[in-house]
Amino acid sequence: MSLIQVLQKHIIYHQYKNWYVLDDEFYWDIKTLANTIFKSLDSNFAIPVIFCSICQANKIISDLGDEEDEYLRFASGIYWRELEIIFIFTFSEYIPLIETLFHEFRHVMQDLNPDFRHHFESDKKIPYQERITEMDAFQFAKEKTKEYLLSESLKNVDL
């Protein structure tokens, strides 16, 4: 089953390109959010982004033929490498949402980099906070979020 077929089983509250909102408590403008992320990354990625509950993500993962995962309950978001989908679970506050998106898109970049990709496998054997993929993604997200906040604050300054 394709992602589109699986998503048709759910209510899609908002959609912009391949970004989907399956939660009625998502308050942000999806187009603005996507454009903000891609402008900051200087790139567009074809990776679908789905804003949903952890239960919905597990159902989508299962319907696409992959195995559900228990540890999702601790995540704000996840890049599901095997399916090439980003799931975002926490989105009530804008700045943490932006940071989570930067973090997950960094994982996409890591996965696309043949010199870095092998860390996903070797990292499975070490604790989460000590994983090279995670340390890199947290640092990247922190820097991009700072850049975003700085650019937003400069827009409000009269020159």
Q: Which residues contact 111 (CB under 8 A, 6 or more apart)?
A: 79, 81, 117, 120
Tokens of 95: 């700045």
Average pLDDT, the chain: 91
Nearest to 75 by CA among 94, 88, 85, 93: 88
Q: What is the pLDDT of residues 72-96, one digit of tens each?
A: 666 899 999 999 999 999 999 999 9
Q: What is the pLDDT of residues 91-142, one digit of tens each?
A: 999 999 999 999 999 999 999 999 999 999 999 889 988 999 999 999 999 9
Quick check: 159 pLDDT over 50? no
Does the pTM exceed 0.85? yes
Quick check: 147 pLDDT over 50? yes
Q: Number of C-alpha atoms within 13 angstroms, CB side, residue 151?
A: 10
Which run of H or E residues covers position 3?
Answer: helix 3-7
Q: Please state the domain extents for the chain.
A: 3-152
Quick check: 158 pLDDT over 80? no
Strand order in the sheet with 19-21: 14-16, 19-21, 49-51, 85-88, 77-80
Which run of H or E residues covers position 37?
Answer: helix 30-41
- Whole-angstrom CA distances from 18 to 4, 98, 102, 152 are 10, 17, 17, 25
